[in-house]
Amino acid sequence: MKKIRIGIIGFGGIARGAHLPGYLECKEDAEITAVCDIDPAALQAAKERLNLSDSQLFEDYRDLLSSGLVDAVDICTPNYLHCPIAEAALEAGLPFSVEKPLGMNYAETKALITHAEEKGLPAFICFSWRYRLYTRYLKALIDRGSVGKIYHIYIRCIKNSGLWEGRPLEWRFEKDKGGSGVLGDLGSHMIDITRFWGEEFDEVAADCGIIIPERPRIGSGEIAPVTTDDWCNLIGRTRTGVNVTINVSRCATTIGDLIEFELFGENGHLKYTYRDGQQDIEICCGKTDMEAGGTHHITPPAKYDANQSRSFINLLQGKKDSYTAELIQGVECQKVLDAALRSIELKRTVKISEIEEGL
Ligand SMILES: NC(=O)c1ccc[n+]([C@@H]2O[C@H](COP(=O)([O-])OP(=O)(O)OC[C@H]3O[C@@H](n4cnc5c(N)ncnc54)[C@H](O)[C@@H]3O)[C@@H](O)[C@H]2O)c1
């Protein structure tokens, strides 16, 4: 079968660190035949790592889309460009994969999915946590009723990446480019994981704040304000009545990377911990601590591991599975992000239906 030709738009951290290795594992089915970035250094890096010629490198995504060199595109740019580039890809008749969060607000994501449905083109969103071994296995444990009916979901995703010495005012620290800070960056994954486990949000209340209020601009070094959240706490209720608590931060002193998912259900308790590369699942079964037969540590079977890029290629080949994150997952997540931002603004609980109805 002919290989699918992929064009990457935005060759920064996530494209180089995650997408590129993912595609290289699918060499028999896909190849990267064009790259676009506004930064000449990024294009040079793409040229060297992928052995591309100058005619395969673009500074304007519109030129890549009309080049005839690609069958699909992978959008890895800052958030504010996701929907405009995806819209342009659809106009060019090209399917796409896009990084999370899908857009800057629900209205633009709704317009995008309507357009994609009209065109009938496959569209994928990079909720990368869905492809992780431990998260997938947790889903299997939940689906097979290991903890029974869920009572509580407690999630913490905290890092110290906002505290790195001298970190400049990257796009993610500016509201007009990021939309939000850790809410959209880390919170979107946590919202999606909750949905991946089968729970749909009905309402949320949130609070957020900025800890490092200003940073030097890239290039000029001029000190400018940070306008996106460094931390966000979200409490939600799902349609089945499960209460969900999500804490995200990029200012967790001394913590490189900590993720905890804790679920309590009628039959017991499941806990996943990721700390600086080390992972563990604990399960404790029983209705009370007296009844529980102790805590067991589980290593997931390797078959639960997956590759996000492979899932995108599968979608393009018409072989999606029930775990695949298509555009609708990005739209559903965006509703919750919008509701959280509205809650922060209005200082009250916001129903997801208010966002859907544009109230
Ligand atoms: N799934 C995940 O776990 C994960 C992790 C990190 C980042 N992301 C997402 O990936 C996206 C990119 O994040 P990043 O950390 O790689 O950022 P980055 O700043 O490292 O890379 C973005 C790249 O886009 C390029 N770019 C900017 N404007 C462009 C334009 N108009 N046309 C073409 N290229 C353009 C930049 O020059 C840069 O090379 C964001 O949406 C982010 O939320 C996802």
Q: Does 141 share its domain with 273?
A: yes
Q: Does 31 share its domain with 61?
A: yes
Q: What is the pLDDT of residue 322?
A: 81
Closest CA to 30 of 308, 243, 309: 309
Q: Residue 126 CA: which ligand 1 atom is closest? A: 1
Say how far apart CA 284 and CA 287 lie, in whole Å.
9
Q: Does 273 share its domain with 168?
A: yes
Closest CA to 7 of 47, 35, 43: 35
- Tell me if 322 is assigned to some domain: no
Q: Does 147 share its domain with 259?
A: yes
**DSSP letter string over 147-170?**
S-SEEEEEEEEEE-GGGSTT----
Is 259's C-beta closer than 6 angstroms to any atom of ligand 1? no
Q: What is the pLDDT of residue 240?
A: 96
- Tell me if 9 is assigned to some domain: yes
Please answer whether residues 52 and 46 qualify as being in contact, where contact means their C-beta atoms are separated by less than 8 angstroms: yes
User: Atom 7 (ligand 1): residue with closest C-alpha?
Assistant: 14
- Tell me if 326 is assigned to some domain: no
Q: What is the pLDDT of residue 287?
A: 74
Q: What is the pLDDT of residue 10?
A: 98
Q: How many CB atoms lie within 10 A of CB 168?
A: 13
Is 61's C-beta closer than 6 angstroms to any atom of ligand 1? yes
The separation between CA 177 and the C-alpha centre of its own chain, rounded to angstroms, equals 16
pLDDT of the chain, 359 residues: tens digit per residue: 799 999 999 999 999 999 999 999 999 999 999 999 999 999 999 999 999 999 999 999 999 999 999 999 999 999 999 999 999 999 999 999 999 999 999 999 999 999 999 999 999 999 999 999 999 999 999 999 999 999 999 999 999 999 999 999 999 999 999 999 999 999 999 999 999 999 999 999 999 999 999 999 999 999 999 999 999 999 999 999 999 999 999 999 999 999 999 999 999 999 999 998 899 999 988 777 777 677 889 999 999 999 999 999 999 999 988 889 999 999 999 999 999 999 999 999 999 999 999 87
Domain that holds residue 283: 132-305+335-353
Q: What is the pLDDT of residue 86?
A: 98
Q: Does 341 share its domain with 278?
A: yes
Distance 180 CA to ligand 1 centre (A): 15
Q: Residue 17 CA: which ligand 1 atom is closest? A: 16
CATH of the domain at 72: 3.40.50.720
- Provide the domain count of the chain: 2
Q: Does 59 share its domain with 94?
A: yes
Q: What is the pLDDT of residue 43?
A: 98
Q: Does 109 share its domain with 149?
A: no
